[in-house]
Structure 1
Amino acid sequence: MKHATITGRGKITIRILLYWMTFVGIYMTGGFIGSFFPGKSHLPGFSNWISGTLAAFLVTWIFLRWEKSSFTSIGLLWEKGTLFRFFKGFLLGSCIFFVMVLILAGYSGGRLQRIPWNADGYTLIAYLTFIPLGLMEEVAFRSYPLVRLNQVFGIRVTLLIIALAFALYHISMGWSIYVALAGPFVWSFVFGLAAVWSRGIALPAGIHISVNVLQNIIGLNGGKGLLWKISFPESHLARTELIGLSVQGCLLAASLIAMELFIRRNGKESIYPEKMIRSGLGDK
């Protein structure tokens, strides 16, 4: 494989930065316009995430057209194994999340309390919002950007750049720097590695959506439709925070180790996109 020049790297980097800026700009503009329409309060975030998903696909299409390319060239297409890979990711994400919560609760004195669940149409919509939300972010960060950056930087640098961008994106949405780095930055390596390993975004989308859903179920994001409520003793709050950071640190370390094992197994750091991501929403 030919080594990319500094000029080539700079060109791709600027193009991806422009891609992200365009996506965020369209997404935020759509949300601003939508806020003027009545009835939005009855659809908590759903219309935002739908418009955001459409914006992600639209911006991807625009940049691919600019390059005279297509969705197929980056593997962003539907195949028969798409749903299987998605549910596989959902199960994997659920397992990772439950292990992390059990460790956190076990070492910090946390308790899971069962909450009576009164499901209604509003609650159903609240959970459905996580589907377009996860898909939107996977398209915007783990499809076109991942393929193009990997062409010139290799997997290590690519996943780092995307993790930083993913954290900055959440900061632009109002998240604190601390939370964005402790959460989205770390999980971005998990999603990115899943995309590289599975050659698509169906698996990371499943992981992503499952984590968001389970966070809501146990009340970690203050959403509707809780099934359990996790609480921690006030006297152990500092300890709980330290353990939480440690768990996130272990997840990051495990992701980095898995990345190195993947690179070693494939014999090179950078993999051609047509080999790395053959079916963006399909099977391996």
Structure 2
Amino acid sequence: MTKQNQIFALLKSIAFIASYLIFGAILAQLKPFFPPQYERYAQGLVGTAGVMLTVGLFLKLEKKSLRDYGLNWEKSTFSKFSIGLLLGIVLAGGMLFSQISFSDLELVLNDEVSLFPFLLWSLAFVPLAFMEEVAFRSYPLLKLNQAFGFRITQIILAILFAVYHMLMMWTPEASLLGPGIWALAYALAAVRSGGIALPTGLHFGLNFVQSVIGGQKGIDPIWTLDYPANVSESAIEANNQFGIGLHILLLICCIIATEVYVRKQKA
């Protein structure tokens, strides 16, 4: 592709994400009409409505179909979502328990939380994951991949996903080490499966594990993850460095998987 086409692809992708943010900000004015305890559901539903308005706008402008953006429903959609969910739980759970084994962190059962209400509130992360996967791993992924190839697309989308979380008031370090790296895994899941069902399940699985241990606001966790009262500052810092190391390991795995995918596509 020419430089001009690449620039257009990048600008269109950014415009798609920006439109999602604009529509979401407008529709967010409806959130006060929801009871406070449903804030997560309200955020997910409002965001999903915003991203689907964006999809509708771009479908009309480019005279495309949902299938062109990888958003059509197929017989394998639910099974791909389930595989992604299982993969997300295994990856996030493995990282969690390796960190617990390494550090002084303790898991304490929260006796005041029942399983069924917890699962009900956790389902709010399905639309939250879905809206972000549509915003970043549908139209933008396809456009950028066609224009730049998958290696460069991974870098661009990881940066955009990290910046998006910075706009959501995340710190730059947390945005780059968390969503910025996981964006590589989500995009790999999208291109390998041919749609957003698998990465949406992966995304939801990660958020679900975080909600189980209190890593998500607005949901009472099944377990509480914390340090004992007498833990030293050096132990906390060592654990933080270990957590960063886990994400660096995930980054390396994603880079290797990206390279393997690109070479297989060329072959």
Could you say which TM-score interval applies, normalised by the shorter chain? over 0.9
Asked if 1:81 is matched to 2:76, the reply is: yes
2:135 — aligned with what?
140
Asked if 1:238 is matched to 2:237, the reply is: yes
Asked if 1:15 is matched to 2:12, the reply is: yes
1:212 — aligned with what?
207
Query: Could you tell me whether the CA contact under 8 Å between 1:146 and 1:162 is conserved in 2?
Result: yes
Distance 2:141 2:206 in 1: 21
What displacement does 1:7 show? 0.6
1:181 — aligned with what?
176
Query: Could you tell me whether the CA contact under 8 Å between 2:133 and 2:196 is conserved in 1?
Result: yes
Distance 2:11 2:238 in 1: 42
What TM-score do the two structures reach when normalised by structure 2? 0.93
Distance 1:93 1:124 in 2: 16
Query: Could you tell me whether the CA contact under 8 Å between 1:46 and 1:125 is conserved in 2?
Result: no
1:69 — aligned with what?
64
DSSP 3-state at the match of 1:229: strand
Distance 2:174 2:25 in 1: 21
1:275 — aligned with what?
none
Asked if 1:60 is matched to 2:55, the reply is: yes
Matched residue pairs, number?
A: 263
Asked if 1:262 is matched to 2:261, the reply is: yes
What displacement does 1:139 show? 0.4
- Cα distance change of structure 1 residues 40 and 255 upon mapping to structure 2, 3 Å threshold: same
User: Which runs of no fewer than 5 residues in structure 1 stay unpaired?
Assistant: 269-284
1:215-230 paired onto structure 2 within 5 Å: 215-230=210-225
Which amino acid counterpart does residue 260 of structure 1 have in structure 2?
A: E
Which amino acid counterpart does residue 119 of structure 1 have in structure 2?
A: S
Distance 1:86 1:242 in 2: 32
What displacement does 1:203 show? 0.7
1:280 — aligned with what?
none
What displacement does 1:125 show? 4.7
Distance 1:118 1:36 in 2: 26
CA RMSD of aligned residues (A): 1.7
User: Which runs of no fewer than 5 residues in structure 2 stay unpaired?
Assistant: none
What TM-score do the two structures reach when normalised by structure 1? 0.88
DSSP 3-state at the match of 1:113: strand
What displacement does 1:267 show? 1.9
Distance 2:198 2:2 in 1: 32
Runs of at least 4 residues off by over 4 Å: 120-125
2:42 — aligned with what?
47
Query: Could you tell me whether the CA contact under 8 Å between 2:89 and 2:208 is conserved in 1?
Result: no
1:34 — aligned with what?
30
Which amino acid counterpart does residue 259 of structure 1 have in structure 2?
A: T
1:282 — aligned with what?
none
- Cα distance change of structure 1 residues 223 and 214 upon mapping to structure 2, 3 Å threshold: farther
Which amino acid counterpart does residue 16 of structure 2 have in structure 1?
A: Y
1:195 — aligned with what?
190
The one of 70, 93, 96 aligned to 1:98? 93
Q: Which moved more, 1:100-109 or 1:207-216?
A: 100-109
Q: Between Structure 1 and Structure 2, which shows a larger proportion of helix residues?
A: 2
